[in-house]
């Protein structure tokens, strides 16, 4: 029986660290190929998919600014790191047979289209995967905020936030064996308890626009498909 997606248009948020795999830095070719294959399976269902990817596997603006670098300069470097990841993912997706476009919030016309909302929506309608690079194009905003902003702009029904853990816990499950996993949370729960779902700007943006966030484990093969077909995995964050 063919699987039926529960959504028409989604935004997938990948962390840069997810691409690094066990090496912890840079891009692991096997990991990125695996992600590309999973994305192809989802796109084959007729789902419209946009992606925002972080840059933490190459450069973290926040970390550099904490060591004395100018925050704006550090953030711009982080945005360029996300473009490198976007191009790597585009290459992997096209090799897997998925037509892909990269749109950058910072103009660099030789390697990516500029971000134009209507053009991005048109690509999605034509069955292309759109990767949004360079965050929002502004320093002091994270790629989580970029994911929330782009998802709202393109009319996505949900943000799928892919992480290394199988949902949101009240403590770090790697450090605390008594950590409790939440199946469902409200935006206010996340903000009041300071839970590490997305940063507060991104969460507030989703709350104001009633956009649900689903946090799930990317390291388990097949999870992207399970999520889009409505299986109850991970943690969903939504309104009351």
**Tens of pLDDT along 2-24?**
588 999 999 999 999 999 988 88
Q: Could you list the residue range(s) of the whole structural domain that residue 192 is in?
A: 9-238
* 176 within domain boundaries: yes
> pTM for the complete prediction?
0.96
How many domains is the chain partitioned into structurally? 1
User: Which pLDDT belongs to residue 1?
Assistant: 43
pLDDT value of residue 240: 82
Q: Which helix (H) or strand (E) holds 182?
A: strand 181-182
| pLDDT score for 45 | 95
pLDDT of residue 15: 93
Does 3 map to a domain?
no
Q: Tens of pLDDT along 180-189?
A: 999 999 999 9
Low-confidence ranges of the chain (pLDDT < 70): 1-2
- Bridge partners (DSSP) listed for residue 130: 50, 101
Q: What is the CATH number of the domain that holds 218?
A: 3.40.1160.10
Nearest to 72 by CA among 20, 144, 14, 135: 135
Long-range pairs, 23-27, Cβ under 8 A, ≥24: 24/57, 25/57, 25/58, 26/57, 26/58, 27/57, 27/85, 27/88
Query: What pLDDT was estimated at residue 2?
Result: 59
């Amino acid at each position: 029986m063919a699987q039926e997606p529960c959504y028409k248009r989604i935004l997938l948020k990948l962390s840069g660290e997810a691409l690094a795999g066990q090496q912890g830095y840079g891009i692991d070719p096997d990991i990125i190929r695996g992600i590309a294959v999973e994305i192809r399976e989802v796109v084959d269902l007729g789902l419209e998919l946009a992606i925002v990817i972080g840059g933490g596997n190459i450069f973290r603006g926040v970390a550099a600014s904490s060591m004395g670098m100018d925050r704006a300069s550090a953030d711009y470097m982080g945005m360029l790191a996300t473009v490198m990841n976007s191009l790597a993912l585009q290459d992997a997706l096209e090799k897997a047979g998925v037509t892909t476009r990269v749109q950058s919030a910072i103009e660099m016309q030789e390697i990516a289209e500029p971000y134009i909302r209507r053009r991005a929506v048109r690509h999605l309608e034509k069955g292309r995967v759109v990767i949004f690079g360079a965050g929002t194009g502004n320093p002091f905003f994270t790629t989580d905020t970029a994911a929330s902003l782009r998802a709202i702009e393109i009319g996505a029904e949900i943000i799928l936030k892919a992480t290394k853990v199988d949902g949101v816990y009240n403590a770090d499950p790697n450090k605390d064996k008594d950590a409790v996993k939440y199946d469902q949370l409200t935006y206010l729960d996340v903000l009041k308890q300071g839970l590490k779902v997305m940063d507060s700007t991104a969460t507030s943006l989703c709350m104001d626009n009633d956009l649900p966030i689903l946090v799930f484990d990317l390291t388990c093969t097949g999870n992207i498909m399970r999520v889009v077909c409505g299986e109850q995995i991970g943690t969903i964050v939504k309104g009351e």
